[in-house]
Amino acid sequence: MSGPHAGDAHGLLLRLIGGEVVWDTDIAAGRGPAALLRHAGRREVALLRARTTGLGRRVAVRTAPPVTRAGASARGRRWLAGGAVVATRDPSARPLDAVLGAAGFDVPAGGPTTLLSRGLRVGSGGTVLLLGTAAGRPAVLRVAAADSAADPRPTARTLRALAAADVTRVPEALGEGVVHGLAWSLESRLPGAAATGLDDALLDDVADFCATLPPWPGSALVPALADTARGLLPALADDCLAVEEAIGRHAVRLPAVTTHGDLWTGNLLVLDGRLSGVVDWDGARPAAVPGADVLHAVATADRMRHRRSLGAELLARPWAQGPTADALGRAWERSGLRLSDADRDVVVLAWWAHVVTSALARSPGLARDPRWAEENVAAVLRHWRTTLPGAAAG
């Protein structure tokens, strides 16, 4: 009854809860309505069959892909694109109970299966998240395979470093460890709900927040675009190297800053109309070009508004003129940045290179999708000298 492919997160779920896939999230959340409806219908039939054949000491747990858009429509698509697993109720058959015990995570009266059914999230890159409490305090438990790309312990170290630098509105790292080969981290859950849009007031708050992120000594580092391409997109490796070198020639003049790496509305929490928290720091990195986080927030909102791919957003250059350019200019100035046209183009190109390399690191299979590679990489490489003249100049 399983779907054709069990992803990394589902594989982790099976290991964590001692279950089996009933229906897999093997469908992209962005597919058309007809495909999503067929997928959801098959999933519901599979769950019905599982129930009618007798679950015994097991319980069905629904899963869903990460949210990529805000709003009710996005939540509906997320439910349609979701999957399900059948979890055992027998504690001896799963390491979940050991992880919960090690983290000090509160187990509700209904037991761990109640926690799974109410607070389970499937994150990107093979992470399982549980929402609940620890010592009565709202908390998030992250679990992934130890020493994998999704291992949450480096993120916990990032949160501690931010706290040491007096950065506020970020989760507090409460603990971390490894149990049965599964790495876990526990962090506080911040107040507020995910932002549904990026208005001027929230953008001002985002810019103010980014200005508090600690600087790094030396120059900004360049994403390893060429190395990534050699392994996954070899036909584009030479052009990627040329872009990487162009970024590097200019980046040496820019200060290096800490960056969140995925600052969009889904990772911004809002309370009473103001920014109350910034979450999901697993993509954080040091020594980034200044302004990349603000650019990511604005460009991602612009992409969603116009339903553009990453490559189409870059080639459209909305930061050069118009409302997006005005919003970015205000945000960069509010962060204390005075970027020339050439500096701005370097920030844009470096941002694109980081998003591409990060996407391929999380999902190498994207390189085998001709449409994704054409729209988001090849098209940009063909036109980068004309679309980004400031960055192309030697």
Q: Considering only CA atoms, which of 210, 213, 225, 215 is closest in space to residue 354? A: 225
pLDDT of residue 195: 92
Spatial neighbors of 260 by CB under 8 A, at least 6 apart, are 210, 213, 267, 278, 281, 283, 284, 293, 296
Q: Out of 9-18, 50-59, 208-217, 289-298, which region has the weakest mean confidence (pLDDT)?
A: 50-59
Spatial neighbors of 172 by CB under 8 A, at least 6 apart, are 159, 163, 187, 188
pLDDT of residue 52: 66
With a cut of 80, say whether residue 71 has pLDDT above it: no
The stretches of the chain forming alpha helices (DSSP H) are 8-17, 33-52, 72-80, 96-103, 112-119, 153-164, 200-211, 225-232, 237-251, 292-306, 310-316, 323-334, 341-362, 370-373, 379-387, 389-392
What separation in angstroms does the CA of 46 have from each of 24, 37, 41, 56, 272? 10, 14, 9, 16, 42
pLDDT of residue 25: 55
With a cut of 70, say whether residue 92 has pLDDT above it: no
Cα angle value 253/255/256 (rounded, 5°): 125
Residue pair 349/384 in contact by the 8 Å Cβ criterion: yes
What separation in angstroms does the CA of 354 have from each of 153, 188, 260, 314, 360? 22, 28, 12, 13, 10
pLDDT of residue 394: 44
Provide the 3-class DSSP secondary structure of residue 99: helix
Kindly report, as residue ranges, where domains of CATH 3.90.1200 are found in the chain: 194-392
CA dihedral 292→296→297→301, nearest 10 degrees, is: 150
Q: What fold is seen in the domain 194-392?
A: Aminoglycoside 3'-phosphotransferase; Chain: A, domain 2 (3.90.1200)
Residue pair 38/100 in contact by the 8 Å Cβ criterion: no
With a cut of 80, say whether residue 31 has pLDDT above it: no
Each residue's pLDDT tens digit, 319-355 = 888 888 888 888 888 878 888 888 888 899 999 999 9
Work out the burial of residue 299: count CB atoms within 10 Å of its CB; fewer than 13 is exposed, 13-18 middle, 19 or more buried: buried
Mean residue pLDDT across the chain: 84
Q: pLDDT category, 392, cuts 50, 70, 90?
A: very low
Show the tokens assigned to 145: 């395979």
With a cut of 80, say whether residue 23 has pLDDT above it: no
Show the tokens assigned to 272: 């009473």
Report how far Cα 62 is from the mean position of its chain's Cα atoms. Answer: 20
- Give pTM, 2 decimals: 0.83
CA atoms within 13 A on the CB side of 4: 3
Q: What is the rounded average pLDDT of the residues 204-213?
A: 93
Residue pair 254/291 in contact by the 8 Å Cβ criterion: no
With a cut of 60, say whether residue 4 has pLDDT above it: no
Q: Out of 83-97, 265-279, 294-308, which region has the weakest mean confidence (pLDDT)?
A: 83-97
Concatenate the DSSP letters of all residues of 272-305 into one string: TTEEEEE---TT-EEEEPTTHHHHHHHHHHHHHH
Q: What is the DSSP letter of 366?
A: G
The amino acid sitting at 253 is R
Strand order in the sheet with 182-188: 120-122, 128-134, 137-145, 182-188, 173-179
pLDDT of residue 29: 46
- Angstrom distance (rounded) from CA 250 to CA 194: 35
% of residues, the chain, pLDDT over 90: 45
pLDDT of residue 20: 66
